[in-house]
Amino acid sequence: MFRASVREFAEGELRPRVERMDEEAKMDKAVIKQLFDLGLMGVETPEEYGGAGANFFTAIIGVEELSRVDPSVGVLMDVQNTLVNNALIRWGSPEQKKKYLTRLAADTVGAYALSEAGSGSDAFAMRTTAADAGDHYVINGQKLWITNGMEAEIFVVFANAKPEEGYKGITAFVVEKGFEGFSVGKKENKLGIRASSTTEIIFDNCRVPKENLLGEFGKGYKVSIETLNEGRIGIGAQMIGLARGALEAALSYTAEREQFGKPINSFQGVQFQLAEMATEIEAARLMVYNAARMKDAGLPFVKEAAMAKLYSSRVAERVSSKAIEMYGGYGFVKDYPVEKFWRDSKIGAIYEGTSNMQLQTIAKLITSGK
C-alpha cells in the first residue's frame, strides 16, 4: 500500500512537473507541501512528534519510488529522513525532539551541513569553528554542497569547538535559518538533480544557543559517521529508483520504435542489453534492500551500505547511459526523459561518500575479517 501510494503521487503529481523543475532548477513548493501531506518527510519519526513511526526500510521504498520519476525529489526526501531526522531521533534531547522533529514532520525542510571547500572526503579537515561564549556558541565558517539549502529552515551543522584537539573537537549543532549571523550563499548551477537545491551556507558570528548542541560535546564525528552510514543506503535507493525509471523508458521506447519493419526490441542485440540492464538493477536493488533490513534488525551494516551505494550508483550510470543509446538521437535531446536520468545518475558516485571512499571502507572491513 505504501509503495502504491507513493507511486500514484509520483505519477500523478510529480511527473507533469519534472521537466519544468529541471529547466528552472527549482523545486515546486506544491511538491514539497504534498510530501509533507503524505507523511513522506517524517517516515521514521515517532508518532508522538507527528511522524509515521515506520521503519527505515519504509523510508527507502519512498525514496526509490520518487526517484523512479524524479531523483531530485527522491534526494529531498532522503536527506530529510536518513540524515536530519535520523540525527535528531538518535542524538536529540527530549526538548530538541519536541521542538524540531514536530516541525520537520509537519512542514519544515531540513538540511545537513558537513562538507566544506577543503573538507570533502577528508570530512574532519573542517575549518568551521564554534567558540564558547557563555550561554551560546559563536560559529564562524562556510559550508558547501548543502542539499536542500534553499528550502531548509533547520540545519544539522558540524563545527570544531576545540580545533587544537583535531576531530575530537568536532561537535554537532541544530541551527535555525533565522539565527543571527546565518545566511545562505551561492546556489550551484548543476549538471543533474537540478531541482534539488545545492548551496553554500555562511556563518558570520552566528549565535547558537547552548541547548542546541546535538549529542555530546566533541562527539560530532560520531554523529556524522553514523548518520552518513544510513544515508548511503538512501542514496542507493535513489540510484535504483533512477535506474528503474530509465529502464522502463527504454522498454517503452524499444517496443514502439520500428526499424527494418519491426520494433527494435525484437532484435536480439537490443533484447540482451535490456536483459543485462534489468539484471543489474535487480542485483543493486537486493543489495540496497538487504542493507536496509540489516539496519532495521540492529545488525552491523556499514560494509553492506558501502557496497550498496557503490554498486547502485554504477548501475544507475550504466543503465541510464544505455537507455540513451537505445533512444538513438532522441535520447540526446531534452524532449525525452533518458538524458535527464543520465545527468542525475552522476552524482551517485560523488555525494555522501565518493566511490573511492566506499571502496576504502569495504576493503578495510573485509581485510579485518568483518
DSSP SS3 for 186: strand
DSSP element (H, E) containing 299: none
| DSSP per-residue letters across 345-367 | HGGGGTTTS-HHHHHHHHHHHHH
Topology (CATH level 3) of domain 111-218: Butyryl-CoA Dehydrogenase, subunit A; domain 2 (2.40.110)
Residue ranges of the chain with per-residue pLDDT less than 50? none
pLDDT of residue 124: 79
Grid cell for residue 100:
524540531
CATH dotted code for 2-108: 1.10.540.10
Sequence ranges of the domains in the chain: 2-108, 111-218, 222-367
| DSSP per-residue letters across 195-206 | TS-EEEEEEEEE
pLDDT of residue 370: 76
pLDDT of residue 123: 80
- Which are the catalytic amino acids? 352
Full-model pTM: 0.96
pLDDT of residue 343: 98
The count of residues in the chain is 370
H helices of the chain, where? 2-9, 18-24, 29-37, 56-67, 71-78, 86-91, 94-96, 102-106, 220-256, 268-296, 302-327, 338-345, 355-367
Same fold flag, 2-108 and 111-218: no
CATH dotted code for 222-367: 1.20.140.10
